[in-house]
C-alpha cells in the first residue's frame, strides 16, 4: 500500500500493489472551494466506501468476509463513480488540464490499484496508518536537532516509541509515563508487566498489595 509515486516501487519487487484511496480523495478535498458540486459528489461516494470499511472493522470480519461486504455494498458505488469520472472527461464537462481534471485523471489512471479492496482479501483502503506513524518520526527528527549527545537522542527515540505505542493502544501516554516513574523499581525488575497494555493491571496488583508509589 502506497501512493502512486514511481519511487515507491522497484522492478525487483513482485507483489500485489494497492494505491492509497485517501491520496486520491485529498485531490478533490483541496478543490472544494473551487468546484464544490463536483468534489462533493466524489467525496460523498468515497465516504460510503469508508463507512462500509468501518462496518467491517466494527464486526471484526475476516479478510474474506470483509471483501464480500465491500463487493456487496461498495462495488456498485465505485462502478458508478468510475462512470461519472469518465463522463466528466469524455463529455468535456471538465477541462482535462484544470485542477479538477488532473484530480480525475489521477484517479482514473490508478483505478485498478485504488480499488484492490474490491478484489484482494485484506487490501486496505489507504496508507493512513503508516503515514501517521511516519509523522511521529518526522516530528521527532525535528525535535532531535536539539539533542546534545547520541545518548540523549537514544533516550528520545525510546520515548517516541513508547508514546506512539500508547496512542496505538488508546492509552494516555502522559499517565503511562508517570506510572513508570512512580514504580521505577518494579519496572526495572518486571518490565514485561509494565508494557502499555499490561501496566494498568500491574498498578492494581501493587495497590492491592499495599505498595506505595514513589513521588515524582
pLDDT band at residue 212 using 50, 70 and 90 as cut-offs: confident
- State if pTM tops 0.75: no
**For 124-129, what is the mean pLDDT?**
88
Q: Is the pLDDT of residue 41 over 70?
A: yes
Give the C-alpha separation, 196 to 175, whole Å.
Answer: 10
- Higher pLDDT: 28 or 139? It is 28
Q: Is the pLDDT of residue 47 over 90?
A: yes
Look at the block and give the residue holding cell 505498595.
211
Residues 6 or more apart from 198 whose CB is under 8 A from it?
A: 192
Residue 8's pLDDT is what? 62
The model's pLDDT over 64-91, given as tens digits with 9 standing for 90+, comes to 999 999 999 999 999 999 999 999 999 9
pLDDT band at residue 3 using 50, 70 and 90 as cut-offs: low
Residue 5's pLDDT is what? 67
Closest residue by Cα to residue 186 from 197, 175, 198: 198
Amino acid at each position: 500500500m502506497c501512493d502512486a509515486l514511481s519511487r515507491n516501487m522497484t522492478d525487483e519487487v513482485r507483489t500485489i500493489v494497492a494505491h492509497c484511496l485517501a491520496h486520491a480523495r485529498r485531490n478533490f478535498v483541496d478543490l472544494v472551494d473551487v468546484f464544490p458540486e463536483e468534489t462533493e459528489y466524489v467525496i460523498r461516494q468515497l465516504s460510503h466506501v469508508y463507512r462500509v470499511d468501518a462496518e467491517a472493522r466494527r464486526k471484526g470480519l475476516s479478510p474474506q468476509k470483509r471483501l464480500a461486504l465491500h463487493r456487496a455494498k461498495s462495488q456498485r458505488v465505485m462502478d458508478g463513480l468510475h462512470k461519472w469520472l469518465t463522463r466528466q472527461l469524455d463529455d468535456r464537462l471538465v477541462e482535462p488540464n484544470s485542477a479538477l481534471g488532473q484530480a480525475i485523471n489521477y484517479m482514473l489512471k490508478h483505478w485498478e490499484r485504488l480499488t484492490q479492496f474490491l478484489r484482494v482479501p485484506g487490501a486496505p483502503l489507504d496508507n493512513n496508518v503508516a503515514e501517521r506513524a511516519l509523522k511521529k518520526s518526522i516530528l521527532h527528527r525535528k525535535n532531535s536537532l536539539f539533542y546534545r549527545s547520541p545518548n540523549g537522542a537514544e533516550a528520545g527515540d525510546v520515548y517516541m516509541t513508547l508514546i506512539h505505542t500508547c496512542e496505538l493502544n488508546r492509552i494516555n501516554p502522559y499517565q503511562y509515563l508517570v506510572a513508570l516513574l512512580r514504580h521505577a523499581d518494579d519496572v526495572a525488575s518486571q518490565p514485561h508487566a509494565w508494557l502499555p497494555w499490561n501496566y494498568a493491571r500491574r498498578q492494581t496488583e501493587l495497590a492491592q498489595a499495599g505498595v506505595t508509589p514513589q513521588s515524582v
